A and B are shown apart, each in its own frame.
Chain A
Amino acid sequence: MLNYNQSIQIMKKYSYIIFAVLLCWTSACKKLDTPPPSIVKDADIFSNSAGIQAYMARMYAELPIEDFRYSPTRGLNFFWIISPFSCISGEGLSRDQNSATQETFGYWGDAYTLIRDANYFAETLPKYSSNFTPAQISAWLGEARFLRAATYFALVKRYGGVPIVDKVLNYPAQSIDELKIPRSSEEKVYDFISTDLDYAYANLGESNQVGRANKYVAAGFKSRAMLYAGSIAKYNNITLTDASGNRLCGIPAAKAVTYFKAAYDAAVLLDGKYSLYKKAWAAGDKTAQYQNYVNLFFDATSPENVFVRQYHYPESVHGYDAYNVPRQLMGANGYSSEINPTLNFVEMFDGIPKNADGTIKTTTGGKYDLYTNAMDLFANAEPRLRATVILPGDVFKGVSIEIRRGIYTGSSTGGISPLLPAGSTAHYPTDHMVQSSNASQTPYTLPNGTTMNPAGLSGYFTGDGTCSVSGFSIRKNLVPDKPTSEVLENRSDQTWIELRYAEVLLNRAEAAIELNALGQNDKSYLQDAFTAINQIRDRAGANLLLSPTDLSNINVVRTERKKELGFENKTWWDLRRWRVIDKEQNSTIYRTLMPFYSANDGKYFFDARLDERNSRYTFDVRWYYEQIPQGEIQKSQNLIQNPGY
């Protein structure tokens, strides 16, 4: 141990040393204000085109596109999509999405981050203009406006009027109260989007990198946004007005013509610049038309692709194939058949036997019709249907997709009567019936001595939902030649086509028909819509419209849109803007088609029925305007909540 005095001595010595070190250290630091070399600065980004490209890439990655990585309950840019969007709109049924829902993730904060990025870009780029040509500058400024408009459209279609932020906000330079920007009217937000897209159209070039906007992408988006605005003006009857008279929800009906005209005019701008994909198409050849429609989603050089989002394994991926392949082609992750098209969807198409009320015809004189092969029922089906939906017994990846509910073993003398009364939601009676509860099946010996599994390899299984629950499986967007070893989560990288020319034609046709209905006759609108829809039907291999008067009912163009854009994450928004989804989904059970094999006949019959799982869909009227996230209102109390929340 040291004594007290020794300790003091040592401490004094240390004090001198520390003092000396401090003195040297502070005097050495002359330049304190140097930028940290590890942080990317404006000058690094904005002084060269590679920096601009990197900035753009991030904005496009954040762009709110409802693609392969989106579901209404999980959000955008999410990898695990097992509750598919198409299974809340009546297009499909899923074992993991059994009722109606609205979006539950509250898209708000991410939108304003992206809007800030776009505003920051537009304000900062001109400071570095000496590094670029004026043409480059104006194209990029147009691109930033396009991105901002697309983001505002994602907001307005969800919430109605939202706060318009058209410049970079600064805190603490601006006070908190100044930054609590109130909502603008729904009309003003649509007008803001329209102005931005006009600017983008005027400034963007004729072409751009794949996945980025050119001027026609801006015009295409405008036709979509203006069509939404027109529909709200015409069909919405919800009102919310703030204390200054801004109509936050709803657009005056008088504006409908203006918006439909804007939609029509914007769609016409793409005329001759893009065209429907018909590379493998041949007139009168259903097989070629089917193959053409399948190819359209995978041809990178398709003249129909207006705006796409690309993926690339391994750095940017999704799992669409893994989640949605038919059960018998399931990959190693154990997912399959999440999307199963409803019979309601299938019945919209041409080329299948139908009853007078438009439903599929499966009986004659109260007895089931019998078919040698399951596909015989669909022998003349519209090629577009086959390319969208895997029908029972159709071929996918070189194998026949086997979908069978069970084997009927009862007597077939005099025909087979319906197994259940019409409209029943009960399970099938189990006498004279063999069925299977899951994929490990016990083969049944048929009267001719051969054996057959009770259920098909892809279902229907009574005990688990890992099968085709509707009698159909999805085909659209599934890679037709992906080996099963690669059918894995985060292993798919096909391109998402966000806007294709077919939609632009449908926007144009719908706007034209609405204008005609509103008494506008400055152009021959109905004739124009007739031409556009027949172009689409011709490519699809569907029956053509005979004359423009066939379009007098607005449901003709709407049904065409549902068929053409089915399973492309557009239909739910359409049903919502038409304000019809609360009627369509009112304690609704969707229909399914169950194929059976009759052991004594050696033939198939089909039973059209309500979903055996009894999944009921009811759309709450409040959902026409989403709830603004409560947390956002707490941050900015000037935000007025939408009605009913």
Chain B
Amino acid sequence: MKTIFYSIALSALVAAGSSCKKVDNYAAPDVTLKGVVTDAGTGKSVQTEQGSGTRIKLLEISWSSNPTPFYISSFQDGTYNNTKLFAGKNVISAEGPFVPLVQVDNTGKTIVDKSQTVDVKGVTTVNFSVDPFLRIDWVGDPVVNADGTITTSFKITRGTSDPNFQQDVSDLAVFVNSNKYVGNNNYDNRYTPKLSGSDASTSVGKTLSVTTIGGPLPGKREYFIRVGARISYGLNYYNYTDVKTVTVP
């Protein structure tokens, strides 16, 4: 009896051990997808804020016709880069402070679809050319005044001629921060001047000069300045200038 028991136990062990040949060795994701969202009018990248600004939407259609979207947040300069993707066929579009690339009318019909269907493999670059809601241009560099404040001059123009995306400018701000990540999600509200109401809605097309609030800025350091403005559309994304560094002596 004992021998039978031992031989059964042994053969069970051998069977269990030898059956585990296959390990889960699917390769780790190593595909890179990168690119930039540029302004169709000027060719420059569309500035945004990191995390709550532009993002790239991937619909992987290799497996399913109704996939769950996957999103890649862009950097604040409008570029994006993800180096840990699986290869696959994707429908790619972008969402952010610009005329939507995919638009549906109120009956649910898709009337505009500028998304791109791309085989993502190796290192793939996908760029988008868009019409931003607003263009904000610097007029000269920000100036440190004698009283320790900073005055910034800029001009806001429409980035699109489509009247559906020409709502009034609802907010406008010269964001001030102590590091280069600056925008509506990251700013120092002691010094940041903000305009809204009619001050904002009448701002399009004019050169504006706005001075920081809260008295003199503490000296001997750098400030990072960026102008942002938004219209009342959808998630109220801000359009931005690039970031300028101002040294207060």
Contact = CB atoms under 8 A, between A and B. Distances in A.
Contact of B235 (A586, A641, A643): A643
B244 interface: no
A588 B192 CA distance: 12
A618 B235 contact: no
A241 B232 CA distance: 18
A398 interface: no
Interface in A609-645: 616, 618, 620-622, 630, 633-634, 637-638, 641, 643-644
Nearest to B55: A644
A42 interface: no
A641 B66 CA distance: 13
A33 B106 CA distance: 55
Contact of A634 (B68, B108, B190, B215): B68
Interface stretch (B114-122, B134-142, B151-159, B181-189): B181-189
Contact of B232 (A237, A620, A643): A237
B69 A621 contact: no
Given A622-B52, A643-B235, A247 B106 contact: yes
Nearest to B192: A587
Given A237-B232, A238-B235, A587-B187, A620 B108 contact: no
Nearest to A622: B235
A616 B187 CA distance: 11
Interface string A398-428: 0000000000000000000000010101000
Interface string A217-252: 000000000000000000001110111111100000
B109 interface: yes
B234 interface: yes
Interface residues of B, number: 26
B108 A241 contact: yes
A582 interface: yes
B107 interface: yes
B34 to A, nearest CB: 22
**Chain B contact residues, majority secondary structure:** loop
A33 B27 CA distance: 54
A582 B95 CA distance: 20
Interface string B192-221: 100010000000000000000011000000
A238 B107 contact: no
B249 to A, nearest CB: 22
B236 interface: yes
Contacts of B109: 243, 245
B104 A243 contact: yes
Given A245-B107, A622-B52, A637-B66, A238 B190 contact: no
A242 B234 CA distance: 15
B108 A582 contact: no
A244 B52 contact: no
A131 B68 CA distance: 50
A6 B146 CA distance: 114
B86 interface: no
B224 interface: no
A244 B105 CA distance: 10
Contacts of A641: 69
A6 to B, nearest CB: 14
Nearest to A643: B235
A425 B236 contact: no
B235 A241 contact: no
A622 B185 CA distance: 13
A587 B189 contact: yes
A243 B108 CA distance: 4
B128 interface: no
Contacts of B68: 630, 633-634, 637
B233 interface: yes
A129 B222 CA distance: 79
A245 B111 CA distance: 12
A106 to B, nearest CB: 16
Contacts of B196: 583
Interface in B55-95: 66, 68-69, 95
Nearest to B64: A637
A342 B190 CA distance: 20
Contacts of B52: 620, 622, 644
B190 A643 contact: no
Contact of B106 (A237, A245, A583, A620): A245
A62 B189 CA distance: 43
Contact of B234 (A238, A423, A618): A238
Nearest to A1: B1
B235 A246 contact: no
Interface in B231-248: 232-236
A621 B236 contact: yes
A587 B234 CA distance: 21
A254 to B, nearest CB: 12
A244 B110 CA distance: 10
A638 B67 CA distance: 10
B2 to A, nearest CB: 12
A323 to B, nearest CB: 31
A589 B233 CA distance: 26
Given A621-B235, A622-B52, A643-B235, A241 B106 contact: yes
B201 to A, nearest CB: 15
A587 B68 CA distance: 33
Contacts of A421: 215
Contact of A586 (B104, B108, B184): B184
Given A587-B187, A621-B235, A634-B68, A423 B214 contact: yes
A481 to B, nearest CB: 44
A245 B192 CA distance: 42
Contacts of A247: 106
A425 B214 CA distance: 12
Interface string A259-291: 000000000000000000000000000000000
Interface string A461-484: 000000000000000000000000
B108 A423 contact: no
Nearest to B190: A423
A307 to B, nearest CB: 35
Contact of B108 (A245, A425, A616): A245
Interface string A583-605: 10011110000000000000000
A222 to B, nearest CB: 27
Given A237-B233, A634-B68, 19 more contacts: A238-B234, A238-B235, A239-B234, A241-B106, A243-B104, A243-B108, A245-B105, A421-B215, A423-B190, A583-B196, A587-B189, A616-B189, A618-B185, A622-B52, A622-B235, A633-B68, A637-B68, A638-B66, A641-B69
8 smallest beta-carbon distances between A and B, as pairs = A245-B108, A245-B107, A587-B189, A243-B108, A244-B108, A621-B236, A621-B235, A241-B104
